[in-house]
Structures are given as C-alpha cells and as structure tokens.
Amino acid sequence: MDIFKMYEKLGIEEDVYAFCEDIWQGLAQRFKKIDETAEYNQLKVIEAMHKSHIGEANLIGTTGYGYDDIGRDSLEEVYARVFDTEDALVRPQITCGTHAISLALFSNLRPGDELLSISGKPYDTLESVIGIRDAKGSFKEYGISYAEVDLKDDGGFDFEGIKKAINKKTRVAAIQRSKGYAVRPTLSAEQIGEAVDFIKEINPGIKIFVDNCYGEFTERIEPGSVGADMTAGSLIKNPGGGLAAVGGYIAGTKECVENAAYRLTSPGLGKEVGASLGILPSFYQGLFLSPFVTASAMKGAIFAAKLYERLGFEVYPSADSTRYDIIQAVTMGSKEALISFCAGIQSASPVDSFVSPEPSYMPGYEHEVIMAAGNFVSGSSIELSADGPLKAPFTVYFQGGLTPAHAKYGIMNTVQKLVSDKIIDRKLLK
C-alpha cells in the first residue's frame, strides 16, 4: 500500500501530505548529522555500561530500605561516567525535573547564602521554589536570597553583569540550559564551560549548577565535561529514553551529590537507602535508547521549524540553527491557533487521541496552560507533546517523539488541523 494511503487513513489530506513530505525529504543531510551524534552518544553509554560491568544481577532491584542495591548503585556509576562527573544520584523518589533542581539547590545552599541565576529568569515552576512567588518552604522562607543576571540580546552570557552581581553571599550560580517558556537561545556545553571558567576565576568556591532538562545527548559532551559542579534533569525527558516511568537525576561532584542524597533521604543515610522497586530494567534500557530517542525528537523539532517557517510563522530556533535541546517554539499569534496546534498533537497521539486538550490553571504556573500529550508515561515530554501558556504572543512549545515517524506525523497533523480550522490558508501549501 502506498504510504500516503496510511496518512490519509489518519486524516492527512493530499495537499498537506505533499507539502510536508517535500520539506521532510529536504532535511536528509541535516538528519544524517544528528544520527552521527546519536551514534557517538550510544557508544558512550555502552562504554559506561561495560566499564561498570552491568550484568543481569544489576537489573533485579530491591524493596524496603534498599540496602546493598547493586543495580541502583551501578546505575549511578553509569550516569556519572556518561555525564562526565564524579558521582550521580538517580532515583525514582525524585518526582520530576523541578524536584531534581530544587533538591540540588536546597542541598547545596544554606541560610544566608545567595543563589545567582546567570541565564535570566528561571522556568515558571521554579519561581515558587525560589520565592519569587510566595510558597511554603521556599528559599525565601529559609533566608536564602536570590539574584539574576539576564542573558545579552544575542543570547550569550553577560559576563560584566555576572562579575558585578557576584558578592560574598553568592554560593551557587545557576544556569538554565533550555529556554523554558521564553524565546531565547538554548545554551551549548561550550558556552556553559566559558561561564564556569569565568566564575571560578572570580571565586573558585562558587558551585555551578546546570538545569540540563531537554539538553541531554543533543551534543557529544555534557555540562559536567566543562566543569559544572552539578547538573540535573528528569528521567521522563531525554535520559529516560521513553521507558522510564518516573524519576530524576543529579550528576556532579562527590560533595554536591552527597549533599543532595542527604537531603533526599536524611542525614546519616544518604545514598545507602532507597529501594529501586523493579524499575531498574526500564532505567537502564531507557538510558541505552536515549541517544537515538533524543535524535528522533531533534528531527521532529527541525521539521516543525522548517514547516512553520515556510508557512510564515515566527519560529525559535530557526530551522537552520544548531540545536542544543529538543524544544521548538512557534509563535502562533492567537489563542485559537495555539489550541488548534495542541489539538493536532493530541489527536496524533497513540494514547487519548480522541480527547481535546483544554487550557487550565496548573500548579506552579502563573497563567492558564494548554498541554497536549497522549503518552504512555503521564507527562513524559520526550514523547510527542506540545504546550504553552495562554498569553500573548501565544507561543507553543513542541517537543518529543519516540520515533521519527511519529514526530513527523504529529507535526504534519498540526498543519492539517490548522488548515481544517481555517487558521492556515490552504493556498500556502501550493
């Protein structure tokens, strides 16, 4: 059967298919380079598993207190090797990316210290953690102050501003690698390394923390390779490979990771407890698959950028930009267009394709947010998903896609939905 017939069965009309397919085929050379990076990172993961002597016994796991869990301990050793750090904490008890970041920061800051963000305002859910918005248990309640330095207009670090902001209270400098709900460049590992060197020159005692969410395996090196003291992320994003059903990680120096472990469990226990509860096979296999799953998501992001550029929308980053995360922002320009795009993603999903995403208020966000994600793992943004706050200019943030074919179909379906809803003029497809 001709492949278009399958797309037609899934609701894609011929002119939409032809327009999208032409763009997809034109990206072949770009995709080849992404696959080369994925191959390198795949071999890096395999090498780490070989060096840690991963065997069948490492997949069994524990219950109860989790004492002597060789699978858990070896997984953390593998993560440290892959992320080029001294140690790592990889646990199902870390509930999400915000929790991983909060854990890393709380455990390495003390009352009277100051957290300095050198990449501008952090992601929305961290505002409550910091105390920008009042919340129980925030840094503000613990007497930890906060300061920030915006990135420059070109997306680079404002080194002069950073130098002026550093003071005797500065204990941790934080970098958010990805854009969050903002339109600015994602930071490369090389750029992060330059910031690390600059700050360490001023005060070697300042710890450098990197929120690595969405950035893992997009390059051949990670923030730990360029001197970051801590890096953190969620396992239901890139490093879980679509198989991890929960969890987060912190990788970094032994001191920083040990502090985080004592905060996660309790003083005196640290990394020694924490049952793995049968999740180890999915954590190991998810990490094994993650370089190529990340590559799939990057292909989808580039495809979306190229398509929507051609249709006259403002996209960020541009289709030809070098990528350092899996997120693609598209400025939809209206509430209706944002909802229509998300509806296209939802109806292309393998789970809950028959439901319609609706905007709503969600914990940690200031505005109503619409989220489309018919996923096997709830909230997994390495799977095909799209979301955005309902505020002007109504930008949608697309990410994920466990396979290139699903990422391709999902984006194609957003175009179909916008055409059907008469938001995109069909003449633009000619």
Is 239:218 a contact under the CB 8 Å cutoff? no
430 residues of the chain, pLDDT tens digit each: 599 999 999 999 999 999 999 999 999 999 999 999 999 999 999 999 999 999 999 999 999 999 999 999 999 999 999 999 999 999 999 999 999 999 999 999 999 999 999 999 988 888 899 988 888 999 999 999 999 999 999 999 999 999 999 999 999 999 999 987 778 899 999 999 999 999 999 999 999 999 999 999 999 999 999 999 999 999 999 999 999 999 999 999 999 999 999 999 999 999 999 999 999 999 999 999 999 999 999 999 999 999 999 999 999 999 999 999 999 999 999 999 999 999 999 999 999 999 999 888 777 677 788 999 889 999 899 999 999 989 989 999 999 999 999 999 999 999 999 999 999 999 999 8
DSSP labels, 306-325: HHHHHTT-EEES-TTSPPSS
Out of 215, 247, 278, pick the residue that ends a domain: 278
- 173: helix, strand or coil: strand
Residue 430 C-alpha from the chain's centroid? 35
Asked if residue 26 belongs to a domain, the reply is yes
Task: Give the closest residue to 77 by CA, choosing from 226, 225, 202, 249.
Answer: 249
Is 129:101 a contact under the CB 8 Å cutoff? yes
Question: Angle at CA 282, nearest 5°, toward 278 and 286?
Answer: 160
190 and 67 in one domain?
A: yes
Task: Give the closest residue to 214 by CA, choosing from 97, 41, 388, 83.
Answer: 97
30 and 158 in one domain?
A: no
220 and 113 in one domain?
A: yes
240 and 105 in one domain?
A: yes
Is 305:328 a contact under the CB 8 Å cutoff? yes
In the chain, the number of structural domains is 2
- 180: helix, strand or coil: coil
Out of 239, 256, 278, pick the residue that ends a domain: 278
Which pLDDT value is given to residue 364?
Answer: 65
Asked if residue 351 belongs to a domain, the reply is yes
244 and 262 in one domain?
A: yes
Sign for the pseudo-dihedral over CA of 311, 317, 321, 326: negative
261 and 113 in one domain?
A: yes
136 and 92 in one domain?
A: yes
Which pLDDT value is given to residue 184?
Answer: 86
Out of 278, 300, 315, pick the residue that ends a domain: 278
Q: 262: which 2 tokens?
A: 């004592």
With b for 16 or more beta-carbon neighbours within 10 A and e for fewer, the 346-368 pattern comes to: bbbbeeeeeeebebeeeebbeee
Asked if residue 336 belongs to a domain, the reply is yes
Which pLDDT value is given to residue 1?
Answer: 57
Q: 380: which 2 tokens?
A: 């997994």
Which pLDDT value is given to residue 114?
Answer: 97
Asked if residue 50 belongs to a domain, the reply is no
Q: 247: alpha, beta or left, given left = phi > 0 and alpha = psi -120 to 50?
A: left
Task: Give the closest residue to 329 by CA, choosing from 393, 397, 400, 234.
Answer: 397
Asked if residue 250 belongs to a domain, the reply is yes
Q: What is the CATH number of the domain that holds 35?
A: 3.90.1150.60
Asked if residue 48 belongs to a domain, the reply is no
Q: What is the CATH number of the domain that holds 221?
A: 3.40.640.10
Count the alpha carbons within 13 Å of 242 in the hemisphere toward its beta carbon: 21
pTM, full prediction? 0.95
* Interatomic CA distance for residues 194 and 74, integer angstroms: 31
- 387: helix, strand or coil: strand
128 and 265 in one domain?
A: yes
Host domain of residue 171: 59-278
* Interatomic CA distance for residues 124 and 96, integer angstroms: 14
Asked if residue 137 belongs to a domain, the reply is yes
325 and 259 in one domain?
A: no
Q: How many residues does the chain have?
A: 430
Asked if residue 417 belongs to a domain, the reply is yes
Count the alpha carbons within 13 Å of 106 in the hemisphere toward its beta carbon: 21
Q: 97 Cβ partners below 8 Å, 6+ apart?
A: 211, 213, 232, 233, 234, 237, 248
